[in-house]
Structure 1
Amino acid sequence: MSLRTKLLLPLGLFFSAISAAQATTLEQALTECRAKDNVIERLACYDAIDLSPLANKKPMPERMDKSVTEIAEERRQQVKPVQPAPAPAPTQPVEPAVKPKPESQFGLQVKSEVDEIEDISDTIADITKTIRGKQVIHMVSGAVWQQVDSRYFKLKKDMDVYIERGSLGSFYLGHDGVNGRIKVKRIK
């Protein structure tokens, strides 16, 4: 830097600071400072801006001056608590449910006394076939079993059959006098 620049730079800074201070509004002062090409002059201009009028203004909304507990209390007062609807009075006394027989639940995914039963006997009420040729066996008790495997097993209406529990949750249907059985699953 030359000697001339060193001497003129402080004067330039001084005059630019005065001109920035004389600006009527903050926006005008910022615009004048932004227009300066010299970095040092620009910085001096920004430093010379009088910010005292801004000191009286609150930079945040009034609400932010409140504590968190005060804000939470205001919200509680604004939101009305929800009142639960009164429970309707029972019109009839509740009767205990009739416990179904374990035989009627055999084969369904029910965990209870049913697990203790190893086999049941029933009579076939009707036999239908699925599209894929599997037998659907309707029992007199109302249970409906469907063949799972593809083995041939001859069944007739009014035939007495037994269904026994196999390993890993499987069930097998068979009847007396025949040494074979088919794997079935309960569908109803």
Structure 2
Amino acid sequence: MRLRWITAVAILVSANATAGIEQQLSACAANTDKLDRLICYDALAQKVKTKGPATPPVAGAATVAAVPVTLPANIEDEFGNLKKEKADAIEKIYLEVASIKKDPYGALKLSFTNGQVWKQTDGRRFKVKVNQSVFIEKAALGSFILGSDDRNSTIRVKRLK
């Protein structure tokens, strides 16, 4: 008998919590101002995440807190580095080739004047010279492509160092 009462109380408490969230979602959806609606949804999501008492902010009381983004002094040093996620703000960098080597399979291994080393990951041919300016930009699914402005061909690369 005691187990039934505990189960019934647990169901009622969870039903009330769900009803409260649904009411708050409806209150957020009723906001006509886009910013107020977004702030309301964000506050509700934060309260659900922390499982605290949820009360949406009042419409018209738009307080936007700016989150400072700290980028490194030289963001190019971080570009393409898998261990660091702060270089998401930059999409394309220009570098000057310092040296060119090939591995046993014919893939290019390029060292740049800033100390970065990138290696070709696809099998395409690409002509590059020492002291030539090339760009590396983000491509699909976290990959990177290397190319030059004077040609329309590119190769896929990954950062080694």
Within the candidate set 109, 134, 145, 2:82 is matched to 109
Q: Which consecutive residues of structure 1, in runs of 5 or more, have no partner in the other structure?
A: 1-98
CA distance in 2, matches of 1:134, 1:111: 25
Structure 1 stretches of at least 4 aligned residues deviating more than 4 Å after TM superposition = none
CA distance in 2, matches of 1:110, 1:162: 21
Match of 1:185 in 2: 158
- The CA deviation string for residues 26-84 of structure 1, in whole angstroms up to 9 with x for no partner, is xxxxxxxxxxxxxxxxxxxxxxxxxxxxxxxxxxxxxxxxxxxxxxxxxxxxxxxxxxx
Give the one of 135, 139, 150 matched to 2:112.
139
1:164 corresponds to which of 133, 137, 140: 137
Matching residue of 2:128: 155
CA offset at residue 105 of structure 1? 1.1
**How far apart are 1:111 and its partner, in Å?**
3.9
Give the % identical residues.
Answer: 41
Question: When the two structures are superposed, what TM-score results if normalisation uses the length of structure 2?
Answer: 0.54
The alignment of Structure 1 onto Structure 2 pairs a total of residues equal to 90
Q: Choose the corresponding residue for 1:130, options 103, 111, 115.
A: 103
Q: Which consecutive unaligned segments of at least 5 residues does structure 2 have? A: 1-71
Q: 1:158 & 1:111 partners in 2: Cα distance?
A: 28
